[in-house]
Structure 1
Amino acid sequence: MLAAAAAPAMAATNGRLILRSAETTKVLSNPSPGCYSTTTPFSAVTNDTATAVTVYTDLGCAGLSQVVQPGRSATVGERRSVSVPS
């Protein structure tokens, strides 16, 4: 399950973010700017959007971070949230 923090009304980012763990795959289609937290940690990200996203070790886009560039996939260790910039 994903929870999104409130964000100002802005255009969605075209494309998909795919968050994977050994047990689950979550897909965010055309994500709006904001912070998305997961109830299940993820360890790999595919960023099929046109903007860099940042993944975090903690809920609420806090903790250690790592940037995943557009058009890239990355193994990111155990992460709990992802931020889509405006």
Structure 2
Amino acid sequence: MVTTFEATTMAVYLSLNVEVIDDQRGTGFLAIPLLSLAWLLVIGWWYQTFTTRLQSRLDDWLATWRLRLVLVSISWRALAWGLTG
């Protein structure tokens, strides 16, 4: 059953000599763009959590090395001060 709006639209298209193509794409038409969007969201989420974890690990690693460097520099200063008197 054709509604009045569809019949009017069809009449306007036919009067303008526009080829009317019935949309047979179905529900799978939006599947690829939606799947791509979903993958982009997943990749964005993974990248954000990965960089956050990497940053925290890097901060922990640098903190231990900073502590080691401070201790080594203090010991070298103490050694140099002890040797020079």
TM-score by length of 1: 0.14
Greater relative contact order: 1 or 2 (C-alpha under 8 angstroms, separation 6 or more)?
A: 1
Bigger Cα Rg: 2
> Which structure's residues are more often strand, by fraction?
1
Richer in helix (by share)? 2
